[in-house]
């Protein structure tokens, strides 16, 4: 059993949530990218930054991989508290 644990990835859902967050906090949904600056890399991740790992883990080239979760979150899980 293997898995991928992605952090905030710039999908339609994440962008929609960020736009709502910007509307509520900044009064302007179009300013959502300003809020993403607080992420470790200053942005949400891209789908193509996660997809190659998923493809690899699903392939025969990863047939000896077992019992692991790969976190791809740009450092989100290890960010300083606060």
Q: Where are the domains of the chain?
A: 2-74
Paired with 5 in beta bridges are 71
4-27, pLDDT tens digit by residue? 999 999 999 999 999 999 999 999
Q: How far is the C-alpha of 45 from the C-alpha of 22, rounded, in Å?
A: 18
Helix (H) or strand (E) holding 32: helix 32-36
pTM of the entire predicted model: 0.78
Q: How far is the C-alpha of 50 from the C-alpha of 5, rounded, in Å?
A: 9
Q: What pLDDT shows up at residue 78?
A: 81
DSSP 44: -
53-74, pLDDT tens digit by residue? 999 999 999 999 999 999 999 9
Q: For residues 50 and 8, is the Cβ–Cβ distance under 8 A?
A: no
């Amino acid at each position: 059993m293997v898995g991928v644990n992605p952090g905030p990835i710039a999908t339609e859902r994440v962008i929609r949530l960020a736009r709502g967050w910007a509307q509520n906090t900044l009064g302007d949904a179009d300013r959502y990218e300003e809020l993403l600056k607080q992420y470790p890399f200053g942005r949400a991740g891209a789908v193509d930054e996660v997809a190659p790992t998923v493809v690899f883990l699903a392939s025969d080239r990863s047939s000896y991989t077992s019992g692991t979760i790969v976190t791809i979150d740009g450092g989100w899980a290890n960010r300083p508290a606060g």
